Structure 1
Amino acid sequence: MKLLAPEALQQLPAVILPRLIQMFENTTPPLLTEIRHHANDANWHAMAQAAHKLKGSCMSLGAEAMAEICKVLQYKGEQADSSGINPLVDELDKIYPETLAELQQNYLP
């Protein structure tokens, strides 16, 4: 599975990339927790909002795989469709550290 879209990262000024990666590292774990919490509580609207927020961060850094999962979670939340939510949240939790590691290894000085 391709975690990152290098072409998205190439559009960003190199000088701000380290700061964006650091922000992604700091803001993503609380959003993952929020998504899981709202999914467990069946608060679909709040889950959709958290997924939307994380999707934006992921898209700006070219984290394609995470953005796609967030897109599905957002849609399911907006539709109050609980089918398959837990495996998607699990996958998001699983690929976040891999995505962060790839960003740090390839795009930090």
Structure 2
Amino acid sequence: MKLLAPEALQHLPAAILPRLIQMFGSTTPPLLADIRHYANDTNWHAMAQAAHKLKGSCVGLGAEPMAEICKTLQHKGEQSDNTGISALLDELETLYPATLSELQQNHLP
């Protein structure tokens, strides 16, 4: 599976890319925890908002597989649809470290 869309990163100024990757590394774990917490509490609106926020970061860095899962979680939250949420969260949490690692290895000085 391709974790990153290189064309997305080509549009970002090289000078700020390391900072964006660092921010992705520091802000994503709490967002993942929030999404899972809200899902467990069946607070669908809050889950949708947290998934939307993470989706924006993922799209900006070209992390398309993560962005797609966030989009699905956002939609499910907006519809109060809990089907498959746990599996989606598991996949998102599995993709995150691999995505961060690829960003760090290929796009940091």
Q: For this structure pair, what is the TM-score category when the shorter chain's length is used for normalisation? A: over 0.9
Per-residue deviation at 1:93?
0.4
Per-residue deviation at 1:15?
0.5
1:43-63 CA distances to partner (integer Å, 9 max, x unpaired)?
100000000000000000000
The aligned counterpart of 2:52 is 52
1:17-61 CA distances to partner (integer Å, 9 max, x unpaired)?
000000000000000000000011111000000000000000000
Paired residues in the alignment total 109
Do structure 1's residue 80 and structure 2's residue 80 form an aligned pair?
Answer: yes
Per-residue deviation at 1:2?
1.2
The aligned counterpart of 1:33 is 33
1:56-107 CA distances to partner (integer Å, 9 max, x unpaired)?
0000000001000000000000000000000000000001000000000000
The aligned counterpart of 1:20 is 20
The aligned counterpart of 2:7 is 7
TM-score by length of 1: 0.99
Distance 1:37 1:77 in 2: 13
The aligned counterpart of 1:101 is 101
Amino-acid identity (%): 77
Distance 2:83 2:18 in 1: 37
Distance 1:78 1:51 in 2: 11
Which residues of structure 1 form unaligned runs of 5+? none
TM-score by length of 2: 0.99
RMSD in angstroms over aligned alpha carbons? 0.4
Distance 1:2 1:83 in 2: 26
